[in-house]
Amino acid sequence: MDGVGWAWAQGLPATAVLWSAGLAWFAVCAAVLVRVDLREHRLPNRWTLRLALGGLAAMAGGAALAGRADLVLSSVLGGLGYAAAMLVLHVLSRGSLGMGDVKLAAGLGAYTGVLGGSAVVAAGLGAILLGGAVAAVLVAARRASRSTALPFGPPMILAAAAVLAFAPAGG
C-alpha cells in the first residue's frame, strides 16, 4: 500500500492530507524544474530548495504526525544519501553531472525516503536507466552524439515520480 493510502488505512487523516499536499507540491516543482532543465540545461537553486524543503516538511512532517520517527529519519537520510551519491558522481564526472542535479537529489530523496531506503535507491537507479535510454535513442536517431550534454533532471524527476506512484510504503 502506498504512503497516502497507508495513512488513510491507519486512521491518520492529517498525515494523509499533509502527504497529499506534499505530492501536489512535488508536481508543481517538478513541472517547473523539468521545463527549465530541458530549455536551459540548469536547475534553479530556488526551485531545488523549494522541492527539498517541501519534501521534508510534507513527508517528514506527515510521518511525525503519525508518530513514526523511523519514517522521519528515513526521509531525512533519503535526502542526504541521494545527494551524497550524486555529489560523488558529480566529482567523478568532472562536472558533467551538474550541482543542480546534486541539489535536486536532496529533495527527491526526502520524498522517496519516507517509503524506505530501497525506494531512494530505486529512484536513483531508475534515473540512470531512463537517462541512458534517452541518450541511446537520441544517439541512434542521430539527434545527439556521445559528447552531447543532456539534461539529467527530467529523468531524475520521472524516476522519483514513478517510485512515489508505485512503490509500497516501508520498502
For 34-43, what is each residue's pLDDT tens digit?
999 999 999 9
Q: What are phi and psi of 144, to 5 degrees?
A: -155, 160
Q: Give the pLDDT band of residue 132 (cuts 50, 70, 90).
A: very high
At residue 99 the predicted structure's pLDDT band, cuts being 50, 70 and 90, is: very high
Chain-centre distance for alpha carbon 43 = 13
Predicted confidence band at 167 (pLDDT cuts at 50, 70, 90)?
Answer: confident
The mean pLDDT value for 68-76 works out to 94
The CB density around residue 4, as the number of other CB atoms within 10 Å, is: 19
CA separation for the pair 79, 110 (Å, rounded):
4
What is 21-74 written as a DSSP string?
HHHHHHHHHHHHHHHHHHHHS---HHHHHHHHHHHIIIIIHHHHHTT-HHHHHH
Which amino acid is located at 47 in the chain? Answer: W
Q: What is the pLDDT of residue 12?
A: 76
Tell me the pLDDT band of 171, cut-offs 50, 70 and 90. Answer: very low
